[in-house]
Amino acid sequence: QSALTQPASVSGSPGQSITISCTGTSGDIGAYNYVSWYQQHPGKVPKLIIHGVTNRPSGASNRFSGAKSGNTAFLIISGLQAEDEADYYCNSYTGRTYVFGTGTKVTVL
C-alpha cells in the first residue's frame, strides 16, 4: 500500500484560506468515507482535526473543514493564523488496513 500523495508544502498569509490535497486511489479514498486529517506541531503528538471526510471533533477549530471528490480528499484552513503553522497528514481506510499521506508542511507567511 503506497502512501497517499500530499503536496510537500503550502503557504499563506494570515487571514487567507489554503487547501491541502490528498490523492489516493479507488481502493482507499475513492472507496470509503473514512478519511481523517491530523495536525502535528514540532515535537508534539498528532491531533485529530477532521474525521469521516467532513466532520470536526469537539475541540477542533471551526476554521478547519474537509471535502472529497473522487480519489482526492481536501483539507481547507480558512482565516489562516500563526498557530496553524504545522505538519498535516491525511489518513484513509483501505479495507482492513489504513494508510497515511506523505504530509504537508504549512507555513504562515
- Select the residue interacting with another protein from 38, 39, 66, 80 (CB under 8 A): 38
Smallest Cα–Cα separation from 19: which of 37, 46, 4?
37
Q: How far is the CB of 16 from another protein (least distance, A)?
A: 25
77 binds another protein (CB under 8 A): no
13 phi/psi in degrees, rounded to 5? -90, 155
**Cβ proximity to another protein, 27 vs 100, nearer residue:** 100
The partner residues of 92 in beta bridges, in order of sequence, read: 35, 99
Q: How many helices (H) and strands (E) does the chain have?
A: 0, 9
| Contacts to another protein by CB under 8 A | 1, 3, 32, 34-36, 38, 40, 45-48, 51-52, 57, 87, 89, 91, 93, 96-103
